[in-house]
Amino acid sequence: MKKPYPPIYYSEYLHLEKLLTSQSPKSDEYGQPAHDEMLFIIIHQAYELWFKQILHELDSVLEMFLEDNVDEKNIGIAVSRLRRITTIQKVLIDQLNIIETMTPLDFLEFRDFLIPASGFQSYQFRLIENKLGLNPESRVKLDNKNYYTLVSDEHQKMLIDSQNTISILEGVDKWLSRIPFLKTEGFDFWNYYKDAVAKLIENEKEIITNNPSLTDEKREKQLKEFENTKEKFEALLDEEKHYELVKKGLKRFSYRSTLAALFINLYRDEPILHLPFRFLTYLVDIDELFTTWRYKHSLMVHRMIGAKVGTGGSSGHHYLMETAEKHKVFKDLFDLSTYLIPRSALPALPAELKLKLGFNYTANLNSENI
C-alpha cells in the first residue's frame, strides 16, 4: 500500500540549514575571533529551545485548568507533562557544567561585544515565570525598573498579557478549592485534625518541659521554637489569620485550597489521591529545580565575572542569588510540611469515605453475562 504522505528529508524536517547557520559570533564580525563565543551562543540557543518546550507543556496544562470543572482524567496527563518539565530542568542545570569549561579569560575575549544583551532579556523564561504564577510584587527589580521594560515592544506585550491571564498557581488554587472530601456527612476532617494537632502540641511541650537532659538555656530555646511552631499551626487553623497572611503576601492559596492540599498530602496513600499528590509534588519539584538552576547560575556568573556588573547592567551574581530566593512560586506547597503529622496520629477515615477514595468497582452479574 502506498504511503499517503510524501517522503521527507531529515535535514529539511528539522530546518537544519536555518538552525546550523544561526550562530553569528560578534567577535568574528569585529575581526577579533574568540573561539569560545560559539559555545556561548549554542548554550544559550539550546536554553531557549528547552524554554520553548517547557512553555509548550505549561500551556497544555494551563488549558486543562481553565474550565470551572477540571476533568480528573487530565490530572494524569498533567502529571506526565510536569514530570517532563522537571527532566528538562535537570538538563538545564547540567548545561551549566558545559559552559563552565569556558574560563573567565576565555569569556573576556568577547564579553564587551555583548553589552547590553543579557539573559535578563530572555522573554521566554519570563513567560515561564508568569505562566507558573510568579507574583509580580515578588520580582527582583533591575535598576528599579519593571522586568518587561528591558525587552522589545513586541515581547513587552507578550509578557504583560501573560501576567494578566490565569496562571498555573491560580488554576490549581481553584481546582483545590473544589475538592469535596474535607467534610462529608458525619465526618468533618478539620475538627478531627485540630484535635490531633492539639494532642501533638501538648505532648511536644511536655517532652521539652520534662526532658532531664536539657539545660535551662536549651529548654528555653526549644520552648521558643515550640511557640513558633504552635503559632504556625494556629494560623493554619484560623481562617481569618490565614487571610491576614494572604493580604501581607505571605500566602497565596485560599484557605480552603490550603486545607485540600494538606488533606491530599496527609492521605496520599488513598488510591484516588495518588495522582493529585504527584501533581502537587511536581509543582514543588519545578520550583525547587528553578531555584537550583538560579543558584548554580549565580555561582557560575560569580566564577566567570567576579564582582563585575553583568552585561545587562545587573549586579551580576548578587542579582541572580536574590532571585533564587524571591522568585519561588509555590511557597504555600513548600510550607505544607510544617503541618504534616505522623500517620499514626491521623484521624481514621470513615468506611464510606474510604470507599470513595479507593478504586471501587461493582458489577451486576446476571444469567446473560455469567
Residue 367's contacts (CB-CB under 8 Å, 6 or more residues apart) are none
Query: pLDDT for 87-126, tens place per residue?
Result: 999 999 999 999 999 999 999 999 999 988 888 889 999 9
* Cα dihedral 80, 271, 287, 96 in deg (nearest 10): -50
Whole-angstrom CA distances from 176 to 235, 255, 263, 288, 365 are 19, 10, 10, 21, 37
Q: Which of 264-268, 280-284, 352-356 has the highest mean pLDDT?
A: 280-284
Spatial distance between the Cα atoms of 272 and 76, rounded to a whole number of angstroms: 11
Q: Is the pTM of this model over 0.85?
A: yes
Residue 7 lies in a domain: no
Q: How many Cα atoms occupy the beta-carbon half-sphere of 288 within 13 Å?
A: 11
Residue 10 lies in a domain: no
Confidence at 182, pLDDT banded by 50, 70, 90: low
Spatial distance between the Cα atoms of 130 and 368, rounded to a whole number of angstroms: 57
Residue 307 lies in a domain: yes
Spatial distance between the Cα atoms of 57 and 361, rounded to a whole number of angstroms: 33
Query: pLDDT for 24-83, tens place per residue?
Result: 999 999 999 999 999 999 999 999 999 999 999 999 999 998 877 788 788 999 999 999
Residue 42 lies in a domain: yes
**DSSP tag of 142:** B
- Note whether 86 and 282 are within 8 A (CB): yes
Residue 333 lies in a domain: yes
**CATH number, domain with residue 151:** 1.20.58.480
End-to-end Cα, the chain, rounded Å: 43
Residue 21 lies in a domain: no
Residue 296 lies in a domain: yes
Spatial distance between the Cα atoms of 167 and 349, rounded to a whole number of angstroms: 33
Residue 19 lies in a domain: no
Domain with 282, as residue range(s), is 32-356
Number of domains in the chain: 1
Confidence at 362, pLDDT banded by 50, 70, 90: very low
